[in-house]
Amino acid sequence: MKPLRTTVAVAALALACLVGAAPAQADVPTARGLLQAGAAQGVADGYPAVVGLVRRGDVAQYASAGVGVLGARTPADPKAQFRIGSNTKAFTSTVLLQLEAEGRLSLDDTVAKWLPGAVAANGYDGSKITLRQLLNHTSGLPDYVSGTFGLNYGANLQPYQTWAPQALVNLALSQHAPTSTPGGQWSYSNANYVLAGMVVSAVTGSSPADEIRRRIVEPLGLADTTFPTTDPTLHGNYLHGYEYPLGMAGVILDVTTSNVQAFGPAGAMVSTVDDLAAFGRALMTGKLLAPAQQAELETTVPVNATVGYGLGVIHRQLPCGQWAWGHNGAVLGYFSDWLSSEDGSKQVVRANTEFHLLTPTKGQTDTAKATADAFCAL
């Protein structure tokens, strides 16, 4: 355990992550039981489905409750795909760290070096913000997920609307004038990772989706992980996503088809619990990054006394005293998180199939506790 390398919760969504010494593999069934009980409670709380995985070494077991699509009797499949939201950020940061290792950029480069004029409005200055500050959310840039954008996205009114990355950045800059200087404090903003994706394109000439596929998805064999860029629908074996519209008691809407360009490299990817566990293990054990970049990944800024944010990853101390690395993700219809020990020996991953842009709900609280308890039992 790295005591002062804090870890952070992602945006308005608090995750539970842990790390530490773990008992023998005989505790995998116990951990699975805790996660299964939490999944059942999540469904009792109103989730259509909850799926998850616990893994100690190469021993993995699954949890699931509910149904993959409302109105059907087919149990939710823990092997099915779902939208992973802000868990995408760890993939994006990994690409930038790899580019640094290749000598093609430095995380201490300014945004303006690679994206001249992209951040130059309402008092914001890209020549004073570094790439590192984008990745650890200390840039001081506002988020764009509010106001009319948030209402339209939350109501799923425009699933096929196209959003140019710069348009999302401009929307963020227009929210308000700076309230802190770059590097001054942690403040979560999806605009940071939209800009990070723009830097990937500027440096490589390829899209973030192509670079993530070539550098991470294909080498790790993540057969069920994709980065949709235009198609808002899901394909193959997937869990439907739902939302309870605000102010409409008793109503639940299927929002499986939703806008992917609204988040892009900040939150557009699709995956499974198996693939997220495999990615988390590879990332935390240095299979994707050189040692210098691994150290940068895990260097965190404080969010509070027990939570810190690295470069697209969270480090958090759970109530049982253990620490874990991970992240969480919330997009319309889906809420998920993954936890990994630093040595990659244990993972817990969970996905819920309802999200309506508010947190915490009882379902989030109950399933997050079960995820943390399962990790502690490994």
Catalytic residue among 86, 139, 189, 258: 86
What are phi and psi for residue 49, nearest 5 degrees?
A: -155, 150
What are phi and psi for residue 50, nearest 5 degrees?
A: -135, 130
Distance CA 93, CA 108 (A): 14
CA separation, residue 318 to residues 131, 235, 273, 368 (Å): 30, 36, 21, 11
Which residues of 35-112 form beta strands (DSSP E)? Answer: 49-56, 59-66, 82-83
Distance CA 34, CA 1 (A): 24
Which residues on adjacent β-strands are paired with residue 339? 326, 348
Distance CA 98, CA 105 (A): 9
What totals of helices (H) and strands (E) does the chain contain, helices first? 12, 12
Residue holding tokens 């500050």? 133
64 annotated active-site: no
Distance CA 80, CA 316 (A): 28
Q: Which residues are catalytic?
A: 86
